[in-house]
Structure 1
């Protein structure tokens, strides 16, 4: 018999509680404790932090389930910095308990709460809307009234959904002095609708997990239905809905409030691709830090949720230590852009995102190539979450045999073999001229690292959709592929592949349509690959 929704929710809650509670009670591994600075507050030495589970009244009186960690020895005679952690999409309120204990050991009051509409919290899912932003301020109000929290030292942070809510709250609550947004988004529309293409698997993943663990609002259900059905009549409604939930919309407010903001994301994030995070980072004017690591959505910091050593969470604590406690730990003097290579695992520091590449390698997209649409050529971006996790842990990105790709379904161009290693760093850009036999269509561009046997490893890709074009009339296309850090070995070449079907995305090619790619003499087509010499 198929398990009920209630049974599945209970099972997930039980497993999560058992794992995280065991981690919290046992404490961090010995290796992690040995690496901690010796400057822990004296209060922490007096014993373990206290933890209690509470109900907090959010916006409109909605009950938010929360847990509160208070530093050991707190007796009401001193105030402590406070960090508020909204949960990720579909995660229970115990999500941050291992990290909350670590922070409380260091002298923080930590309040983790279940975002409205999920699990035991009340209300319906607002998808980082105005009610979620108002909830964040209500939780801060509660913490200042019911814990020894310092009103001058308020921080927020979280993973994914919690990251987005934290950034949005920083625009509307001036009390927030520091934010650590991990695997979040700056532009929601630019995340799940980049290239004017519906990121189908990402949306289906969010919709399914939201329905399993929460109570989707009627607005959310309508948006998801129209989005997955590619309902162009409702496109502007989707864009308006997403902009209201995008921190980038409120950049002026965020910058005016001046919170110190750390952004941590993964190169292969299939929910919130890295480009929109980097664009958002560049427009911040206050203290800021940007970190990119291999992995997919929330996988770069995921092990840290179990209390295991984790670079992202270590830097998160350092960020809060400096901007909430005033610790002289040097974080503000380090290169503010920190990248970890997918190929070597080595870290690289840069002064800004624009400084990441030092040169461009251009691949000419010469000649004219025509594709039949609606057939998958064999080139694709993989599966949501899974493929980039394989790349993160096993260095196995999606692959394709470039010589075997059918040229009637895939346009292929290749560079010469490189004599030296090519360190791809940043955002690859495609410029071409396209002609379609139909007014609408979709193309997906891929960049592959091709070895001697012709096997291509996916370096990056991105989708592109057009509408309302005059059939058989050429038009220009400019497309940013998803940013990355990947090393192409000497003796390999790069291949540019364009086809019309990818399981990750909705496609808009009418039956029987054909796409032609050309390179006019007065406007040559090319792909520009950013490299670090």
Structure 2
């Protein structure tokens, strides 16, 4: 079967994975420097106090941490406190530049190495119950050992730290504000969307976990089942992921009422934007959502180096308002703020659904049959590399649409647009599929096609099915990954569907064929959030 051929590629990909994740995947990749407000650039002349300490976490596990307090803090006054769990595979010094900046502006900051990584004790639990208990233990320690104000407690973090912060807000009522950057709300819908394993993402996370930490026996078993497509244990895997998903604890998060800011990149290879946007819409407390071009943690990367950075500027404004009471207007601004991949300009909206206020359908008429197991040449690129090239050089993955072999790729195109079109939000595919086998995988790609037929990737998403009756049609509904992209005048959009992409594990048996059809009773279409600029 196709997944076995994918498994043969894992050794080579895994070698690259571990090396890459130690860099940009966990929050250290470069991002374009942005000007910070003058008020944020002011620094105190006396340096903040930095201490390295051991904190006793859940079950007595030792967590390596650093504490940064405002210069001159002598216990005569209380300061708001920010707790920063480290990103996956990152050392405890990850946030030191940001911690010093926060301390200079009047915060106590405690950053700690998440359990199972580097010199902290325990095993990697992937934001399991011990990790959430650790966050509360660190808050306890901060209130007992620093001039921290128990009424003004915040959590912030990148990637793994973001997920832990959101989950902690569901279980600890003391947390009043959260900044979650490049994190996840739905773990399963991040690396198993469309019931398809995100191969390169999973290999990167697993490889880096082994290099920098100690995966728990449970994690080792879960990832082995995941990468080998052990469907007999799928329900266990889904339940494991659900317990670690803030979306599953939404009622508690809303009841506790923490002010939550979410930030992510359009091309995040680990945690695609859809799951964050869905989660954002269901939050009932103070909230903010920001999306920028790039990949996992690249939008906030320069801030971790102490350089000017838009994402961290927003994060500080959010914390200042909800923990210090600063009247900086962040609560009166439109809460959804995005940056276009094409123009680099910011846009603001009152809510997520307003991005896609206008939708158009591309009719997917006719019948198209393709053979599985062959990569047509359409693909989502390479994890991290492709989205970073798109971020800095406006060079997304490309394909010559006229040259794609129609035996292996189904292609539909829109009319040419006479004016510039703005894609904002989430495109949705609805079609009818008939397979010659009971299982299979398809990958849908949306391209911006120029006059010469060269297509630039706008979005994509995978879809896998199991247990269908060969020869019997079934409906497929698939959300492509959300984005903000401008289609130039004179261009058209194209939908391409094939069955192989190096980003994903495919489940196409040998000799499989897929037929895509449309009927008057149930027409196939791609609904695109599109409006004229």
Structure 2 Cα separation of the partners of residues 319 and 358 of structure 1? 27
CA displacement, residues 188-242 of structure 1 (integer Å, 9 cap, x when unaligned): 0110110000111100000001100000111111111100111100100110000
Which residue in the other structure is 1:398 paired with?
A: 397
Query: What does 1:94-493 correspond to in 2, within 5 Å?
Result: 94-493=93-492
- SS of residue paired to 1:356: helix
Structure 2 Cα separation of the partners of residues 133 and 148 of structure 1? 23
2:38 to 35, 48, 63: 35
Which residue in the other structure is 2:522 paired with?
A: 523
Structure 2 Cα separation of the partners of residues 449 and 115 of structure 1? 42
Q: Which runs of 4+ in 1 moved over 4 A?
A: 30-34
- SS of residue paired to 1:316: helix
Change (3 A) 1:379 1:306: same
Structure 2 Cα separation of the partners of residues 526 and 509 of structure 1? 24
Structure 2 Cα separation of the partners of residues 134 and 321 of structure 1? 26
Contact 2:35 2:310 in 1 (8 A): no
Q: CA deviation at 1:73?
A: 1.2
Contact 1:86 1:162 in 2 (8 A): yes
What is the CA RMSD across the aligned residues, in angstroms? 1.8
- SS of residue paired to 2:249: helix
Q: CA deviation at 1:36?
A: 3.0
- SS of residue paired to 1:90: coil
Q: CA deviation at 1:318?
A: 0.2
Structure 2 Cα separation of the partners of residues 105 and 387 of structure 1? 37
Structure 2 Cα separation of the partners of residues 390 and 482 of structure 1? 18
Structure 2 Cα separation of the partners of residues 438 and 34 of structure 1? 59
* Runs (5+) with no aligned partner, structure 2: 1-17
Q: CA deviation at 1:521?
A: 1.6
Structure 2 Cα separation of the partners of residues 510 and 234 of structure 1? 20
CA displacement, residues 19-72 of structure 1 (integer Å, 9 cap, x when unaligned): x9xxxxxxxxx997883348x7xxx74611100000000000000000000001
Contact 1:268 1:294 in 2 (8 A): yes
Change (3 A) 1:449 1:353: same
Structure 2 Cα separation of the partners of residues 471 and 349 of structure 1? 47
Structure 2 Cα separation of the partners of residues 163 and 437 of structure 1? 43
Structure 2 Cα separation of the partners of residues 45 and 194 of structure 1? 47
- SS of residue paired to 2:208: helix
Structure 2 Cα separation of the partners of residues 532 and 364 of structure 1? 17
Structure 1 Cα separation of the partners of residues 244 and 184 of structure 2? 10
* TM, length-normalised to structure 2: 0.93
CA displacement, residues 328-364 of structure 1 (integer Å, 9 cap, x when unaligned): 0000000100010000000000000011122112111
Contact 1:46 1:73 in 2 (8 A): no
CA displacement, residues 163-204 of structure 1 (integer Å, 9 cap, x when unaligned): 000000000000000000000011001101100001111000
Which residue in the other structure is 2:12 paired with?
A: none
Contact 1:460 1:481 in 2 (8 A): yes
* Runs (5+) with no aligned partner, structure 1: 1-8, 21-29
Contact 2:181 2:262 in 1 (8 A): yes
Which residue in the other structure is 1:512 paired with?
A: 511
Which residue in the other structure is 1:498 paired with?
A: 497
Change (3 A) 1:450 1:145: same
Structure 1 Cα separation of the partners of residues 406 and 107 of structure 2? 60
Which residue in the other structure is 2:68 paired with?
A: 69
Which residue in the other structure is 1:55 paired with?
A: 54
CA displacement, residues 265-298 of structure 1 (integer Å, 9 cap, x when unaligned): 0000010000000000000000000000000111
- SS of residue paired to 1:237: helix
Structure 2 Cα separation of the partners of residues 521 and 45 of structure 1? 69
- SS of residue paired to 1:331: coil
Contact 2:34 2:309 in 1 (8 A): no
Change (3 A) 1:68 1:522: same
- SS of residue paired to 2:504: coil
Give the total of aligned pairs.
Answer: 507
Q: CA deviation at 1:453?
A: 1.0
Structure 2 Cα separation of the partners of residues 402 and 81 of structure 1? 55
- SS of residue paired to 1:330: coil
* TM, length-normalised to structure 1: 0.93
Change (3 A) 1:305 1:46: closer
Contact 1:32 1:308 in 2 (8 A): no
Q: CA deviation at 1:76?
A: 0.7
Contact 1:356 1:532 in 2 (8 A): no
- SS of residue paired to 1:53: strand
Contact 2:166 2:178 in 1 (8 A): yes
Change (3 A) 1:521 1:427: same
Q: CA deviation at 1:383?
A: 1.0
Contact 2:36 2:309 in 1 (8 A): no
